[in-house]
Structure 1
C-alpha cells in the first residue's frame, strides 16, 4: 500500500461550533464540561454523531475514533443491531421496579462465558462494580483492609482511588509505596486502610502481605492496568497473587471493567488469573450505562436476601434496566470467538506497524498493549510498572505533540496515547494509524538526537 501524503491534511482544525458550545458550557459547568475526562486542546471537541469507526463533530470534521468512549464501544458508533433492539424496546418502557427477562439474557451470557462468574449482580457503572466487589470481599471475610496496585484506575470509590494518581512527589520509596488519597479533603483514614503494591513486583507483594496479609479482605487488580501503562502482567506475578491470597485467606478481585475486551472469556482467563470476584462494565452495556460484579457462588451469597437481611445490601434505581440489558446482550452476542480473533489480528497489525516505524527512525518511543489495545510511550524501554511508565515533563510534551499531530490528521488519539480498536475498523483505518505515526516521527526525526534514552 502506498504511503498516504498527509501534507495537505496537516492543518489546524476549524471548530467554531465547538467554541460556541464550550462558551455556553462555561456558564453552567464549573470548568465548561461535566466530566473531568473530557480532553481539551485547548477546548473540547463537541460531537454531532458517530458513524462506525468515525465521529463527526459539530463543525463537520470527520475523525477516526481511537477512544470509543474510553474503550466502551467495541463495535464502534451507531451499531445497528443494538440500535434496532433498543428502538424496539423504548416504547415498551425503559425501567421498572420489577425484574424483566432482559436481565436474565445478559446474565446467562456472562455466566456461561466468563469462567470466574458463577453468580452476578448488575449495577450502573464500572465504579459501582468495583465498589460492590470490594464491599462483597469485606462482607465475606469480615475484614476491611484492601491492597491495590499503584497507578491503576478503578473508578471513584474512595478506597479504590488510593494512589491511582500518585506522582514522584508522593509515591514514596520503591520497596514500600505510600498510600495517598486522590482528592483534597479525603479522609486520611481511607489511605490508612489501603496497602499499595507495585505491578509485577513479587518481592514487594510478599513484603506487604507479610505485614498485613491477615487483615486484608482483598487484593484489587486490573490484569493489564491501562492508566498504569497498559503493561502485560508477568505470569510469575499472577501466580504469586493466587498463592499468597490463598495463604492469607484474601479474596482476589479482578477489575475487568476495561479489560474484559481482551478476549472472548476476558482478561483474567487470558492471563491465568483466577479471581474470586470480577468487576465488569463498558462493553457489556452495548453503549449504555452498566456495571456488574460477579464471582464464586459462595462469595456472591453476601448479596442474598432469601433467608434474612443480606450481609451486603445492594440496589440501584437503574440497575439492570431493560435498555442496558438488551443493548449489552446484543453487543456481547456479536462478540464471537471469530470477532475476538479479528480484533487480535488488528491489534497485532497496529502494534507491529508502530514498532516498525519506531525502529525505522530510531525514535525514543515504545508500544505496549495486547488484543485491541495499544499505548505509545515516549520512552526507549517498555515500562514494567506505573513508576517506569510515569512520563517526565519532556515526555508529556512529546505525547501532547503526538496527539495534536493525530488530531490535525483527523484521528482522535487520547491524550495519554492509550487507544483502542473497534470491530468496525477496516485495514485502511489501521494503516492510517500507522502512517500517521510514521509521519509524526519523520516530521520530528531531527529532534530525536536531543532526547534522552
Structure 2
C-alpha cells in the first residue's frame, strides 16, 4: 500500500508541475462550485484539467498541454471536436434564432431520419438529456401498461432521476423513502433472476430497462442470447422492453439493437444525436408513442422549453448523416488495434489487467477475469486505475478516471500508435506494483 502511495504521489507532482494554471482555475472554481465542477464525472484528484480548446481528436488545456481525447465527452463527440461541417450547420441555425414555441423543419427532418435508422423507433419525441429520455420512457411504459414498477440492472446508469439511479451504487438515504417499492434490481447478464422477479411481480412491472452494453459499469457486453432472452421474457410476462442506447447508438447504423438483432418496445437516445449540444430523445412503437399526441383527449403531457431546438437538431442531423457504416467500421477497426496493443503489453508483462470492448468503446479493468456484471467490476483495483489515469494524463492521453476509452471518427492510425506506446510505458512503469 505504501508503494502505491509513493508512486501516485510522484505522478501527482508531475501533473501539478505540468498544469499550474489548471490548479489555479480549480482553486478559484472551488469557491463557487462544490468540488470546483458542475459534473461529478469531470472531477479527479488532485484536480481536473481546465480545457481551453478542442479540435479534432485533441484537447488543449489552459497550460498549453495537448491530449489525444479518448473520452470524447463520455462518448458524445463521435466526430471529435469542432468538426467543420457540424459547426457550419449549427452556426447557420444560430443566425435564424435558437428556439421558438412552434414546429421547425429540422424536427420533421430529424424525426424521419431517426425513425428510418433505428429499428424500434416508429415515432419519436425530443428532449434535452439522456436523463429526460429515460424518465419519459419509463413514464410512457407505466402509463401504457397501467403498472407502476420497473426492473433495472444493478450498476446501470440511466440518468439522475430517482427511478433510474436507485441501486447498490448509492446510499438509499438520498432517495424518497418509498422509491424502492417501484424498482426491482437484477444483475446484468442474469436473465434467470429477471424471470424470477417477473414470475412473482409481473402484475406490478411495466418494463425492463437495460443498456444493451453496460456503459458506466465498465463497457460490459451482453452474453450471447441475453438480450434475446429479455425480449422473450418481456413478451411472455406482458411487460415492455426499454433499451437505453444513449451510449450504444454509435455501435451500428441502428445502434446496439441492430448489432444484436433484438428490437425493444422503446429506445432512449442522447449524446451523439445532439452533435455536441444538449439533447435527448425517446421513441418506439406507434401505439405507445401516440399517448403523447395532444390532439387526443387524455394525452400524456411532455414538455421542455428547449425540446427540439434549432441549433441542437441542425448539429444532430449533420452528425448522424456523417456517421455512416464506413466511419463506424473505421472506429471499430482502430479500437480493435488499440485493444490488441494494450493486450500485447499486458501479456508480455504478465499484468492482471482485462479489457472489455464492444465496437469503438472499451474499458480497462485491473482484474484477473472479465467482469460480466457491475458487482464483478468492484474487484478491480481502484488505486491502480487512479495511478494509470494520471500517468496517461502526464503523457497526453485523456481517458475517463474509471478506465473508459472510446474513439471518434477523426482519429488516425498515428493516434492509435501513440496511445499504444503510452499505455505500454505506463503499464510497464506500474509492474513493480503488480507483482503477484
The aligned residue for residue 374 of structure 1 is 362
Deviations 1:234-254 (A, max 9, x none): 132212211111111100000
Alignment of structure 1 residues 15-414 onto 2, 5 Å: 15-163=19-167, 165=169, 181=172, 184-310=173-299, 312-391=300-379, 395-414=381-400
Q: CA deviation at 1:11?
A: 4.3
Q: Which residue of 2 aligns with 1:415?
A: 401
Distance 1:444 1:14, change over 3 A: closer
| Distance in 2, Cα, partners of 1:404 & 1:229 | 19
TM norm structure 1: 0.91
Bigger drift between 261-270 and 133-142 goes to: 261-270
Does the residue aligned with 1:98 lie in a helix, a strand or coil? Answer: coil
| In 2: Cα distance, 1:405 partner to 1:27 partner | 28
> What residue is the counterpart of 2:425 in the other structure?
439
Contact 2:44–2:401 (CA under 8 A) maintained in structure 1: no
Counterpart-to-counterpart distance in 1, 2:30 and 2:379: 30
Greater shift, 383-392 or 271-280, is seen at 383-392
Shift of residue 164, structure 1, vs aligned partner: 5.9
Give how far 1:420 is off.
Answer: 0.7
Which residues of structure 2 form unaligned runs of 5+?
Answer: 1-12
**C-alpha separation between the residues in 2 aligned to 1:103 and 1:148?**
31
Q: What SS does the corresponding residue of 1:440 show, helix, strand or coil? A: helix
With structure 2 as the length reference, what TM-score do the two structures score?
0.94
In 2, are the aligned partners of 1:120 and 1:294 still within 8 Å (CA)?
Answer: yes
Structure 1: runs of 5 or more not aligned: 1-9, 167-179
Counterpart of 1:293 in 2: which secondary structure? strand
User: Quick check: 1:150–1:228 contact (8 Å CA) kept in 2?
Assistant: no
Tell me the alpha carbon deviations over residues 240-277 of structure 1, each in whole angstroms, 9 at most, x when there is no partner.
Answer: 21111111110000000111111111012212321000
Q: For structure 1, which segment, 257-266 or 278-287, has the greater mean C-alpha deviation from structure 2 after superposition?
A: 257-266
Query: How many angstroms apart in 2 are the aligned matches of 1:195 and 1:40?
Result: 32
Contact 2:35 2:43 (8 Å CA) reproduced:
no
Could you tell me which residue of structure 2 aligns to residue 173 of structure 1? none
Aligned equivalents of 1:233 and 1:134: distance in 2?
Answer: 22
Whole-Å Cα distance in 2 between the matches of residues 391 and 89 of structure 1? Answer: 48
Partners in 2 of 1:444 and 1:288 — Cα distance?
A: 38
In terms of fraction of residues, the more helix-rich structure is: 2
1:407 Cα deviation after fit: 0.6
